């Protein structure tokens, strides 16, 4: 029998997993004590609940397995080696990795893939008759499980095809649910997560009348059962399947047909929901995966926004405007940005990070606005919220500035008009003279222009406007061209999916439409002139391209 010391971790969580001991509550102390005595208890991790009845105790012992059949003998050797052979029937082992995002490629083999290793370990816990009775080979379960997954703490998000390849469907149809609960808990633990769900593409349409409801700004209309499917304008991920430890105050299928729950979620639901977190390009993001979308796939677009913003803000606005004049310091780089479909902020925050002093965002989903505010706070930025119909005056910007500068007591309902509420967190100073101020408007972007016209004189020139709704943001283009600073000009970012062969035609069409809209909005504007150019048409990702139109 090999002593367990051969299995000590080399502390390279990217390359291998460590062993977690899955034990009943009554044995936690004993197992922990034995591990500590042998200096095998991993003090850098916590003992976590695994299922209702069991806990996962982290060890520093390396998980060495290469095949499911080995798990049983490994467990027996290990328990004997650390003096716990008497608990053979009570202790299971599971692999464990750090709580990071992992994307393993298809070449990952069992020893490097913590989820496959967790499945291998779980197989050993099944009654010995189950798999043979279904004619399922253990190795087929392991090798047919996807090699990719994402961890957005505390959530392990499995790809949409997880459990779809043979022999999983057969097993899932026949296996008692307590075994599944153990499997999901083991997967979570192996990924350093506490909750598990299966991802799904965002449906293009919803069964109820969310699209129409939203367009008319009357979110309280009950869903009409006979209504034809309408576009999923809130981009609600209603296909997501929660598997384990995933609190959803309202089941996803029901929430998808409940406009008011999505537009104006009750505070208790916001508190109870699962909120996921990630950091991209140094920007923290927070969202409720059951009710709002988050796209990891827009990484390049976000990076592009971070690059594009500062170097191109070259012209000073006219004298007398906010952001101009000697008192403004570096007037050339003082600018504001607008996101007309702000969501949980993954584009809006790029502008904030890139140097925008003020970022105004609009969204009709209460879940998105909550994620936006939480994300802003996680980045150390002050964020105000404005509800539909709130009568906000210019004081809100000054109130946010005071809040940013730490004068917390002076921000009150009298100064922040309506129900606008500024974040309580004080900002970090990270080299810039001012941290950005963010304002989230919880309403249709149809109200954006009138709000912007009232705020314009108290914010720097708006140089960037983002329109990021799929399949089309066209409904916001008229607002976008008018929102851009009329003196200094700026950029309208149209974020759409375009087939690679259609990029040029689509870009020309968009520029033409923007020209027409600008001509309609501004008297004296020469539609035949050249105020727009198309940039970034070369950003082709597979068969999809993103482009921006630039207004000079
Ligand atoms: C593609 S998602 C947002 C993407 C965004 N960049 C993010 O960080 O989440 C589109 C968002 O637009 C919102 N939306 C759709 N129509 C809207 C409208 N007319 N006014 C304001 N927000 C709208 C939806 O609620 C959804 O959150």
Residue closest via CA to ligand 1's atom 25 equals 234
Distance CA(119)–CA(184), nearest Å, equals: 9
Ligand 1 centroid – CA 447 distance (Å): 14
Given the CA of residue 298, which atom of ligand 1 is nearest to it?
A: 6
- Atom 26 of ligand 1: nearest residue by CA position: 234
Antiparallel, parallel or unpaired: β 498-499 and 532-535? unpaired
What is the pLDDT at residue 330?
A: 40
Rg (CA), the chain: 27
Q: In ligand 1, which atom is closest to the CA atom of 445?
A: 20
CA–centroid distance, 480 to ligand 1, in Å, is 14
Gap between the Cα atoms of 10 and 60, Å rounded: 9
- Residue among 211, 218, 364 to mutate when testing ligand 1 (max atoms within 8 A of CB): 364
Q: Residue 250 in contact with residue 274, Cβ under 8 Å?
A: no
CA-closest residue to ligand 1 atom 3: 343
Nearest ligand 1 atom to alpha carbon 444: 20
Gap between the Cα atoms of 252 and 236, Å rounded: 9
Backbone dihedral region for residue 320 (phi beyond 0: left; psi -120 to 50: alpha; all else: beta): left
456: CA distance to ligand 1 center in Å? 23
Separation of CA 328 from chain center? 35
Query: To test ligand 1's pocket by mutation, which of 341, 383, 472, 479 has the most ligand atoms within 8 angstroms of CB?
Result: 341
Nearest atom in ligand 1 to 365's CA: 25
Q: Which residues contact 291 (CB under 8 A, 6 or more apart)?
A: 236, 237, 255, 262, 265, 273, 365, 367
Per-residue confidence (pLDDT) for residue 512, from 0 to 100:
85
Helices 177-191 and 114-123: crossing angle in degrees, nearest 10, is 150
Separation of CA 533 and ligand 1 centre (Å): 25
Q: If DSSP codes are grouped into helix, strand and coil, which group holds residue 155?
A: strand
pLDDT along the chain (552 residues), means of 10: 28 54 90 88 84 82 61 77 86 65 34 85 92 94 92 93 95 94 95 92 58 33 47 71 82 62 88 91 90 70 64 40 36 81 93 91 95 93 88 76 65 38 43 76 96 92 88 91 87 79 82 85 64 50 46 47
Q: What residues are in contact with ligand 1 under a 6 Å CB criterion?
A: 214, 233-235, 293, 341, 343-347, 362-365, 368, 444-445, 468-470
Ligand 1 atom 24, closest CA = 234
Ligand 1 mutation pick, 212, 219, 288, 363, max ligand atoms within 8 A of CB: 363
CA-nearest of 343, 340, 312, 278 to 477 is 340
Count of alpha carbons within 13 Å of 416, Cβ hemisphere only? 23
Atom of ligand 1 nearest to the CA of 285: 8
Q: Strand 54-63 and strand 92-96: pairing?
A: unpaired
Q: Nearest C-alpha to atom 2 of ligand 1 is from which residue? A: 343
Residue 235 backbone zone (phi > 0: left; psi -120 to 50: alpha; other: beta): left
Distance 484 CA to ligand 1 centre (A): 19
CA of 5 to the centre of ligand 1 (A): 54
Gap from CA of 236 to ligand 1 centroid (Å): 10
Residue 233 CA: nearest ligand 1 atom is: 15
- Ligand 1 atom 12, closest CA: 341
Q: How many CA atoms are closer than 13 Å to the CA of 132, on its beta-carbon side?
A: 4
Distance in Å, CA 510 to ligand 1 centroid: 20
Q: Which token pair is 382?
A: 């002050």
Query: How many angstroms separate the alpha carbon of residue 527 from the centre of ligand 1?
Result: 30
Instruction: Give CA–CA dist 392/94, Å, rounded.
Output: 55
Secondary structure (3-state) at 504:
helix
Cross-strand partners of 285: 278
Nearest protein CA to atom 7 of ligand 1, as residue: 343
Pocket-testing residue among 368, 375, 483, ligand 1, by greatest number of atoms within 8 A of Cβ: 368
Written as six digits, the tokens of 295 are 């796209």
Contact 439, 398 (CB under 8 A): no
Atom of ligand 1 nearest to the CA of 339: 6
Cα 103 from chain centre? 16
Q: Which domains are seen in the chain, by residue range?
A: 4-198 (no CATH), 205-271 (no CATH), 275-551 (3.40.50.150)
């Amino acid at each position: 029998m090999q002593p367990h010391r051969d299995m000590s971790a080399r502390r390279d969580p990217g390359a291998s997993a460590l062993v977690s001991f899955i034990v009943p509550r009554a044995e936690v102390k004993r197992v922990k004590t034995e591990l500590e005595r042998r200096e095998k208890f991993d003090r850098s991790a916590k003992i976590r609940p695994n299922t209702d009845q069991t806990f996962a105790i982290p060890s520093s012992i390396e998980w060495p397995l290469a095949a499911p059949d080995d798990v049983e003998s490994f467990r027996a050797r290990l328990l004997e080696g650390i003096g716990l052979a008497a608990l053979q029937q009570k202790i299971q082992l599971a692999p464990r990795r750090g709580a990071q995002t992992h994307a393993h490629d298809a070449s990952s083999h069992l020893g490097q893939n913590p989820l496959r290793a967790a499945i291998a370990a779980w197989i050993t816990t099944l009654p010995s008759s189950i798999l043979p009775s279904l004619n399922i080979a253990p190795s087929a379960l392991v090798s047919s499980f996807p090699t990719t997954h994402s961890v957005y703490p505390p959530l392990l998000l499995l790809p949409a095809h997880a459990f779809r390849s043979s022999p999983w469907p057969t097993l899932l149809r026949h296996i008692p649910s307590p075994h599944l609960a153990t499997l999901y808990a083991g997967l979570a633990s192996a990924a350093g997560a506490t909750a598990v769900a299966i991802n799904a593409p965002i449906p293009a349409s919803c069964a109820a009348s969310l699209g129409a409801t939203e367009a008319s700004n009357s979110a309280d209309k009950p869903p009409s059962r006979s209504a034809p499917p309408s576009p999923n304008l809130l981009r609600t991920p209603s296909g997501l399947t929660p598997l384990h430890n995933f609190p959803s105050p309202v089941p996803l299928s029901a929430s998808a047909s409940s406009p008011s729950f999505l537009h104006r979620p009750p505070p208790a639901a916001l508190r109870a929901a699962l909120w996921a977190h990630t950091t991209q390009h140094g920007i923290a993001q927070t969202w409720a995966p059951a009710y709002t979308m988050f796209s990891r796939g827009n990484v390049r677009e976000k990076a592009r926004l971070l690059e594009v913003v500062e170097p191109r803000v070259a012209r000073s606005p006219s004298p007398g405007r906010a952001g101009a004049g000697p008192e403004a310091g570096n007037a050339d780089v003082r600018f504001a940005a607008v996101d007309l479909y702000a969501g949980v902020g993954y584009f809006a925050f790029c502008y904030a990070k890139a140097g925008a002093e003020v970022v105004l965002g609009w969204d009709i989903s209460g879940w998105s606005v909550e994620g936006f505010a939480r994300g802003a706070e996680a980045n150390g930025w002050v964020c105000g919220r404005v509800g539909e119909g709130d009568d906000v005056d210019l004081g809100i910007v000054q109130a946010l500035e005071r809040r940013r500068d730490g004068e917390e007591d002076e921000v009150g309902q009298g100064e922040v008009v309506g129900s606008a509420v500024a974040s309580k967190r004080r900002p970090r100073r990270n080299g810039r003279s001012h941290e950005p101020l963010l304002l989230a408007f919880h309403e249709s972007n149809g109200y954006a222009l009138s709000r912007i016209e009232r705020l314009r004189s108290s914010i720097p020139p708006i140089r960037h406007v983002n329109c990021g709704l799929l399949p089309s943001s066209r409904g916001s283009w008229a607002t976008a061209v008018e929102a851009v600073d009329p003196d200094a000009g700026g950029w309208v970012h149209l974020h759409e999916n375009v087939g690679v062969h259609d990029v040029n035609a689509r870009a020309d069409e968009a520029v033409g439409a923007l020209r027409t809209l600008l001509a309609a909005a501004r008297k004296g504007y020469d539609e035949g002139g050249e105020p727009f150019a198309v940039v970034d048409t070369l950003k082709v990702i597979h068969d999809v391209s993103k482009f921006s139109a630039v207004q000079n």
